[in-house]
């Protein structure tokens, strides 16, 4: 297969055979049928020689022998027909010039027979070749398409070739079939026996035609939008997909000597249309190192990632506070397994709603930095029990913030949500109330710097749509989306946590930090792409059912209130909302009434007072 001249010679000999046999067979048929009569053997030999030379020369000129057998397509067949047509026309003219008697009818029939034979040979040979290739290649081999025929794609192809000699190499089972590249000048070029046969838009068609099992996306320097588009084409196939990371994320050291080993499975966040947010690790290191750090809700999806990242920056001590023992135990064991005795870790099962217990914890451990992640976050569930959302979110936050001030905590970082902006649900309203509490504390605190971080939906977090969609797809159930047009801003858990850490590091007190999360994502599109990633077809293999907006749910989330405005920071992806003054007396009065309503478990009264406390709360949107 690697010897190009050998392949060209075989195909050329096949064409010569077909052109010669077509003339002999046609003449025999005409002699038997006697419809128009055969040509004399004297002239027949001249016809064969002249037409053979002109047709082969034309096919050489049209590149009919430059294509690999397995890649013949409609355009190649058309070019072959055109070459044969011009070959016969040229041959006919030469015969006339030489004075050889010719019959136009015979020439026409000869042209049809020879051209049909040449084209059919190519078609059936391609099909036979593909069948034989699939039969002779072990099922353990992945027929692979490589996206990008640049330097990265060539490196991957070379690594695959080298891996063939090492059965222990995980890349030894990869069989490169073809390239695709959007650079039209590269089309039909051959790299180490592998041809560039199309552009990225052709990926679904090529994968189907060539029986592709896997796709490797090797375009580490492409823009975010271009990468998102490529992944959309890839996710429209049934293939396994791996992606070479962006150039800035590639590693080449003693442990990472190959590019292909750094190719990663496609993740849903790859479809968000932007690069991962970069953060200032040196600034975070200075912020965390040798400090006693407390994380409330430390067993949750955000809290546990906070603990993981804090542990990397050499804190003096980490205190995990969580009411749910299973989650707290999981992150505790994970960190003990990773760091052993090197990490000073304390795990406490306690509720932020219990002021006295939290007071004992603060008094004993004297945290210097507090990350407040404990909260009820499920929008529909909080609609049914607003008093519980208030007790946990509002007064749990008030307890921890008050104790932070009492015990001289250096920085208090609260995690909020975009649902706090012009809230239409109880959960969002309670988080806006928390923001007001923290801003008020910042106005009046003499030592502790209080700060809020606000971001959108977090992929993979508890309550995120992604785990729900995955469960539905894996169980064969319809994927449920509330509305066809609903959109959300998304970020990854590590991004969310890095924002929290960097915001804490740069905070001076009172700020609400907002992340530029790129373009919002349509939830329906997210569901469709996730279904495709499972190798299924949306609406055909997996139904998408629209269930209607839930109580308190918006079609569009906002990240900023009208009066907040934006100020830039050193990180171009992080902005600061202007601090809004909160009247202390009014806030305390409203909190007193809210506490009474919640402790009486009066849901209606709780919502009523919450509307008074948060003027932007519109509970009747839906």
- pLDDT tens for 246-285 read 444 443 444 444 555 566 555 555 555 555 566 667 889 9
The stretch 425-429 carries a mean pLDDT of: 94
Paired strand residues for 346: 319
255 vs 535 pLDDT, higher one = 535
- Provide the pLDDT confidence category of residue 229 given band limits of 50, 70 and 90: confident
Distance CA 460, CA 329 (A): 20
pLDDT for the residue 557: 56
Strand (E) or helix (H) holding 83: helix 74-98
Q: Please write the tens of the pLDDT for every residue from 571-585.
A: 666 778 766 788 999
Report the Cα 477 to chain-centroid distance in Å: 23
The stretch 481-496 carries a mean pLDDT of: 78
Q: Which of 16-30, 60-74, 303-317 has the lowest mean pLDDT?
A: 60-74
- With a cut of 50, say whether residue 145 has pLDDT above it: yes
Burial of 281 (0-12, 13-18, 19+ CB in 10 A): middle
419 in active site? yes
The stretch 7-14 carries a mean pLDDT of: 80
- With a cut of 90, say whether residue 520 has pLDDT above it: no
The stretch 419-434 carries a mean pLDDT of: 92
Active-site pick, 242, 377, 419, 441? 419
- Provide the pLDDT confidence category of residue 1 given band limits of 50, 70 and 90: very low
Paired strand residues for 480: 545
pLDDT for the residue 470: 82
Residue with tokens 């823009």: 223
Burial of 517 (0-12, 13-18, 19+ CB in 10 A): buried
pLDDT for the residue 445: 86
String of DSSP letters for 451-499 = EEEEE-EEETSTT-HHHHHHHHHHHTPPEEES-TT-EE-EEEHHHHHHH
Average pLDDT, the chain: 83
User: How many Cα atoms sit within 13 Å of 174 on the Cβ side?
Assistant: 25
pLDDT for the residue 170: 62
pLDDT for the residue 2: 44
Identify which of 574, 442, 415, 437 has the alpha carbon closest to the alpha carbon of residue 508.
442
Structure tokens at 90: 């040229």
Give the number of other Cβ atoms within 10 Å of residue 305's Cβ: 25
118-147: b (≥16 Cβ within 10 Å) or e: bbebbeebbeeeeeebeeeeeeeebbbbbb
The stretch 403-408 carries a mean pLDDT of: 96
Q: Please write the tens of the pLDDT for every residue from 197-221.
A: 999 999 999 998 888 888 988 887 7
Most confident listed range (65-79, 259-273, 471-485, 527-541): 471-485
Give the number of other Cβ atoms within 10 Å of residue 246's Cβ: 15
Distance CA 398, CA 247 (A): 45
The stretch 481-506 carries a mean pLDDT of: 80
Write the CB contacts of 127 (distance below 8 Å, at least 6 apart in sequence).
none
The stretch 369-396 carries a mean pLDDT of: 95
- Provide the pLDDT confidence category of residue 155 given band limits of 50, 70 and 90: confident
pLDDT for the residue 138: 44
């Amino acid at each position: 297969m690697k010897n190009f001249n050998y392949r060209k010679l075989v195909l050329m000999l096949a064409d010569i055979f077909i052109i010669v046999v077509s003339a002999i067979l046609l003449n025999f048929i005409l002699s038997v049928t006697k419809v128009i009569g055969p040509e004399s053997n004297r002239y027949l030999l001249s016809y064969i020689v002249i037409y053979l030379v002109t047709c082969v020369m034309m096919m050489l000129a049209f590149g009919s022998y430059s294509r690999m057998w397995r890649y013949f397509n409609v355009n190649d067949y058309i070019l072959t027909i055109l070459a044969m047509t011009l070959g016969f026309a040229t041959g006919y003219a030469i015969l006339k010039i030489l004075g050889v008697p010719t019959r136009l009818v015979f020439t026409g029939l000869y042209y049809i027979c020879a051209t049909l034979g040449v084209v059919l040979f190519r078609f059936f040979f391609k099909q036979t070749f593909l069948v034989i290739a699939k039969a002779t290649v072990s099922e353990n081999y992945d027929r692979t398409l490589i996206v990008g025929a640049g330097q990265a794609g060539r490196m991957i192809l070379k690594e695959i070739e080298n891996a063939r000699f090492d059965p222990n190499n995980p890349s030894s089972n990869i069989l490169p079939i073809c390239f695709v590249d959007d650079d039209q000048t590269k089309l039909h070029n051959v790299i180490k026996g592998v041809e560039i046969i199309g552009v990225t838009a052709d990926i679904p068609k090529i994968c189907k035609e060539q029986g592709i099992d896997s796709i490797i996306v090797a375009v580490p320097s492409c823009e975010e939008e271009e990468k998102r588009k490529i992944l959309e084409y890839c996710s429209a196939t049934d293939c396994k997909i791996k992606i070479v990371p962006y150039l800035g994320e590639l590693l080449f050291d003693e442990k990472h000597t190959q590019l292909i080993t750094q190719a990663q499975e496609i993740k849903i966040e790859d479809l968000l249309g932007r690069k991962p947010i970069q953060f200032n690790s040196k600034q975070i290191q200075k912020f965390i190192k040798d400090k006693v750090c407390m994380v409330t809700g430390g067993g949750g999806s955000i809290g546990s990632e906070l603990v993981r990242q804090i542990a990397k920056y050499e804190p003096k001590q980490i205190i995990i506070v969580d009411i749910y023992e299973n989650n707290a135990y999981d992150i505790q064991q994970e960190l003990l397994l990773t760091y052993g005795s090197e990490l000073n870790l304390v795990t406490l099962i306690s509720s932020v709603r219990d002021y006295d217990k939290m007071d004992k914890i603060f008094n004993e451990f004297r945290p210097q930095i507090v990350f407040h992640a404990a909260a009820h976050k499920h929008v529909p569930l909080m609609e049914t029990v607003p008093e519980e959302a208030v007790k946990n979110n509002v007064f749990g936050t008030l307890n921890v913030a008050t104790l932070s001030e009492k015990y001289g905590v250096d920085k208090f970082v609260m995690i909020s949500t975009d649902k706090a902006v012009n809230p239409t649900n109880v959960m969002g309203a309670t988080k806006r109330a928390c923001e007001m509490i923290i801003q008020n504390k910042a106005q009046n605190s003499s030592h502790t710097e209080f700060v809020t971080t606000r971001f959108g939906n977090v992929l993979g977090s508890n309550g995120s749509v992604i785990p729900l969609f995955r469960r539905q797809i894996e169980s064969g159930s319809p994927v449920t989306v509330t509305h066809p047009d609903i959109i959300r801003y998304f970020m990854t858990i590590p991004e969310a946590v890095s924002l929290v850490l960097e915001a804490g590091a740069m905070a001076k007190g009172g700020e609400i930090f907002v992340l530029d999360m790129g373009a919002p994502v349509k939830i329906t599109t997210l569901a469709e792409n996730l279904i495709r990633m499972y190798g299924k077809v949306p609406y055909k293999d997996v139904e998408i059912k629209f269930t209607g907006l839930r109580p308190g749910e918006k079609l569009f989330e906002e990240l900023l209130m009208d009066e907040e405005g934006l100020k830039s920071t050193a990180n171009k992806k992080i902005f600061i909302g202007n601090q809004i003054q909160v009247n202390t007396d009014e806030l305390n009065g409203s909190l007193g009434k809210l506490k009474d309503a919640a402790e009486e478990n009066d849901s209606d009264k709780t919502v009523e007072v919450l509307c008074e406390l948060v003027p932007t709360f519109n509970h009747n949107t839906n």
